[in-house]
Amino acid sequence: MNTAQTPDRTEPADAAPLNAFADCHIGILKRLNVLDQLPALLEPAAQARRIATDSLGFFREAIFEHHLDEETELFPAVLASAQPGAERMRVQGIVDRLTREHRILEGLWKVLEKDLKRVARGQDADLDVEEVRALVAAYASHATYEELEFLPLCESILGRNGNHMAALGLSLHLRHAPAVMAHI
């Protein structure tokens, strides 16, 4: 008997159609394994949308408003109460620096804002990580300088006359009272 002509009894004569089904299953299982990763990615994506949405509102409502309060209320009050000469020049220098920093911070924000809006809507965005870090670092530096240098100086200058501190408090209260009343 010639074994070269005898078919192997363990495999069908033409297994190609069955192999195609098996190959198809391999491809399907690969895709399903990738799909199985999706649930783990949904929460970080939702968190990114929440952070972007919250940041958009916060920056506009809190940070821009904070800068405006400082520039229209605090800075003029401290300048008006500073003693002429070296003290007033020092305050003016600090006020000029802080105001410049406000514009820089707002400019950094505007660069990020468009992409943050896209992230908030769940759209693809080319959010530049370095720009985000630059904004965070710049604001941290700004706030630290203001906290360590300017606010203690403000307290010293405005604290000399209780009426000056009270006037600043009243001015800030009146500035924000309509916003508070509108939410009641």
Give the residue extent of every domain in the chain. Answer: 35-182
Q: Which pTM value belongs to this model?
A: 0.74
Neighbour count for residue 142 (Cβ, 10 Å): 18
Q: How confident is the model at residue 21 (pLDDT cuts 50, 70, 90)?
A: confident
- Of the chain, the percentage scoring pLDDT greater than 70 comes to 78
pLDDT for residue 75: 94
Q: How confident is the model at residue 13 (pLDDT cuts 50, 70, 90)?
A: low
- Of the chain, the percentage scoring pLDDT greater than 90 comes to 57
Query: Which has the minimum average pLDDT: 8-12, 22-26, 60-64, 151-155?
Result: 8-12
Q: For residue 96, which of 73, 120, 79, 117 has the smallest C-alpha distance?
A: 79
pLDDT > 60? residue 9: no
- Whether the CB-CB separation of 144 and 133 falls below 8 Å is answered with no
pLDDT > 90? residue 92: yes
Q: For residue 141, which of 92, 112, 169, 108 has the smallest C-alpha distance?
A: 108
- 35-182: which CATH topology? Four Helix Bundle (Hemerythrin (Met), subunit A) (1.20.120)
d(CA 36, CA 30): 10
